[in-house]
Amino acid sequence: MINGERTTSRPLRWGMVGGGRTGQVGYKHRTGALRDGTYQLVAGAFDLDAERGRDFGTNLGVAEDRCYATYQDLIAGETAREDGVDVVSVATPNFTHFEITKALLNAGIHVICEKPLFFTVAECEEVAALAAEKGLIVGVTYGFTGHPLVHQMAAMVAKGMLGDIRIVDMQYTHGFNAGDDDSADAVKWRTNPATAGSTFVLGDIGTHLYYLSEVVLPHMKIEKLLCDRKAFIPSRAPLEDHATVLMHYDNGARGRLWVSSVNAGNMGSQRYRFVGSKASIEWSDSHPDQLIYEVQGEPNRILHHGMPYLEQESLAVDRMGALHTEGLGDSWANIYLWIAQAIDAKNRGDEAFLSTHHYPGITAGTEGVRWLENCVRSADAGAAWIDFE
Ligand code: NAI
């Protein structure tokens, strides 16, 4: 169980780029980071609007002279200080991730970046090489995968409790873009290839599904994939507001993934069902405290987070304990903690720790982008089956 005790050598001096007053995801980062004494928020370039960013930052308790107008100013100001930031989170629109991450790494600063990490696998590989050369960590905020029941699912699969995995069924949908009003800033950049990249919902929400499936099914690789995508609101084309992806895995399993932001009225968010030869499990982030466990021929069971009957891998990352709700903020706190532990180990030169430590890093970010590239290649070929490359 995680109880907030610090597990790293010292608190990391932490900064943010983006995630300001108007940003959707910024508070999730702070909710995750400021939990276990592992990070102290000391600097930021929080907003494109410098004045608003400064006002926001000082309200968060950041010193006025460390609330910068731009990320370039942040890098210059922080690298000139003895007590400059160790790590910076990038919570800005997709098209800025690559440039900001590279600049931070070049300045010797660890990075925690939003997904989808970059536009291309080539960019991911360039950054992976840069991070390796500089001895720095790149973490990626796949924020849903810190939940203890995700790790329960992974442990159940690893221990053979489901038998051989046959079917993977995943859905992340909502209806917030069912209408055609794309005037909000956060929708405008998401529906423009220049600022979003080559996908809308596949990158925006599909990458969460894909990464979680990698956590639960690390032994399975996609061999073939078919992606059918469509913009129901034509002005969003060539980007999609809806997509279905079929996948063939190397163990013979079949996968189906549905992402949509035009699922009118739907608030179900994410749902995962992993079907094995003996049993199935199903989890949704709408009811994150419960895992449905169905053994063929037996009554269905609902497993609750924090209960002693769960696997050790799940109990070890539980924060609230049974009977009390464990939610998204707790999941993000785990992700931030695991990344802090990776940064701490890197700073200490503890490669042995890093070789077994699990956190969403540059490889996870790269694999998400690789999956997107394959989805787009298939969709552009007319929803054709393609070999996964
Ligand atoms: P948003 O449009 O709501 O906010 C972006 C923020 O970044 C704004 O405050 C803006 O002023 C600021 N900004 C933009 N460029 C900047 C720059 N160069 N320097 C400083 N600040 C800058 O966007 P949202 O929804 O917060 O998404 C940001 C990123 O987070 C995206 O990559 C998105 O895919 C990702 N995201 C991830 C989620 C997750 O669960 N991991 C959830 C929501 C978004």
Among protein residues, the one whose CA lies closest to atom 31 of ligand 1: 93
Q: Does ligand 1 lie within 6 Å of residue 91's CB atom?
A: yes
Q: Which atom of ligand 1 is nearest to the CA of 48?
A: 11
Atom of ligand 1 nearest to the CA of 26: 26
For residue 383, give the 3-state DSSP assignment: coil
Give the mutation target among 22, 25, 89, 209 for probing the ligand 1 site: most ligand atoms within 8 A of CB: 25
Atom of ligand 1 minimally distant from the CA of 141: 41
Q: Is 72 in the pocket of ligand 1 (CB under 6 A)?
A: no
Long-range contacts of 236-242 (CB under 8 A, 24+ apart): 236/177, 236/182, 236/191, 236/200, 238/193, 239/191, 239/192, 239/193, 239/196, 239/198, 239/199, 239/200, 240/199, 240/200, 240/201, 240/202, 240/379, 241/177, 241/191, 241/200, 241/201, 242/201
Cβ neighbours of residue 155 closer than 8 Å, sequence gap 6 or more: 311, 312, 313, 314
What is the reported pLDDT for 101? 99
Hey, which of 16, 17, 27, 48 would you mutate to test ligand 1's pocket, going by the most ligand atoms within 8 Å of its Cβ?
A: 48
- Under 8 Å between Cβ of 366 and 121: yes
Q: Let me know if 159 is exposed, middle or buried by CB neighbors in 10 A (0-12, 13-18, 19+).
A: exposed
CA dihedral 188, 193, 199, 205 (to 10 degrees): -30
Query: Mind listing the domains of the chain with CATH numbers?
Result: 12-144+334-359 (3.40.50.720), 148-321+368-387 (3.30.360.10)
In the DSSP assignment, the letter for residue 233 is: S
**Helix axis angle, 148-158 to 207-216, nearest 10°:** 50
CA of 10 from ligand 1 middle (Å) equals 28
For residue 244, list its beta bridge partners: 228, 258
Spatial separation of the C-alpha atoms in residues 43 and 67, rounded to whole Å? 6
Q: Is 20 in the pocket of ligand 1 (CB under 6 A)?
A: yes
The bridge status of strand 254-260 relative to strand 165-173 is parallel
Residue 140 confidence (pLDDT): 98
For tokens 């070789």, the residue is: 355
Cα-Cα-Cα-Cα dihedral sign, residues 347, 211, 293, 331: positive
- Does a cis peptide bond (omega within 30 degrees of 0) precede residue 238? yes
User: 240 with 152: CB under 8 angstroms?
Assistant: no
Read off the amino acid at residue 65: D
Torsion region of 46: left, alpha or beta (phi above 0 gives left; psi -120 to 50 gives alpha): alpha
**Ligand 1 neighbourhood includes 141 CB (under 6 angstroms):** yes
What is residue 145's predicted lDDT score, i.e. its pLDDT? 98
Ligand 1: does its nearest atom lie under 6 Å from the Cβ of 22?
yes
Q: What is the value of ipTM here, to two decimals?
A: 0.99
Q: If you measure from the C-alpha of residue 189 to the centroid of ligand 1, how many angstroms do you get, rounded to a whole number?
A: 10
Question: Ligand 1 centre and the CA of 318: distance in Å?
Answer: 28
Q: Write the residue with the smallest CA distance to atom 10 of ligand 1.
A: 47
For each of the chain's 389 residues, which pLDDT tens digit applies? 999 998 999 999 999 999 999 999 999 999 999 999 999 999 999 999 999 999 999 999 999 999 999 999 999 999 999 999 999 999 999 999 999 999 999 999 999 999 999 999 999 999 999 999 999 999 999 999 999 999 999 999 999 999 999 999 999 999 999 999 999 999 999 999 999 999 999 999 999 999 999 999 999 999 999 999 999 999 999 999 999 999 999 999 999 999 999 999 998 789 999 999 999 999 999 999 999 999 999 999 999 999 999 999 999 999 999 999 999 999 999 999 999 999 999 999 999 999 999 999 999 999 999 999 999 999 999 999 999 99
Alpha-carbon separation of residue 79 from 40, 73, 85, 103, 232 (angstroms): 17, 10, 8, 12, 47
pLDDT given for residue 299 in this prediction: 98
Nearest CA to ligand 1 atom 9: 23
d(CA 86, CA 66): 14
C-beta of 187 in contact with ligand 1 (< 6 A): no
Ligand 1 centroid from CA 28, angstroms = 11
What order of strands is seen across the sheet that includes strand 222-230? 301-304, 290-295, 279-284, 269-276, 165-173, 254-260, 242-249, 222-230, 386-387
* Distance from residue 261's CA to the centre of ligand 1 (Å): 18
Instruction: Answer yes or no: are the C-beta atoms of 240 and 201 closer than 8 Å.
Output: yes
15 lines ligand 1 (CB under 6 A): no
Q: How far apart are CA 70 and CA 99, in angstroms?
A: 13
Q: Using a 6 Å cutoff on CB, does residue 23 contact ligand 1?
A: yes
- pLDDT tens per residue, range 245-286: 999 999 999 999 999 999 999 987 899 999 999 999 999 999
DSSP character string of 53-76: HHHHHHHTT--GGGB-SSHHHHHH
Output the CA torsion sign for 193, 196, 197, 203: negative
For ligand 1, say whether the CB of 69 is within 6 Å of any of its atoms.
no
Beta carbons of 262 and 177 less than 8 angstroms apart = yes
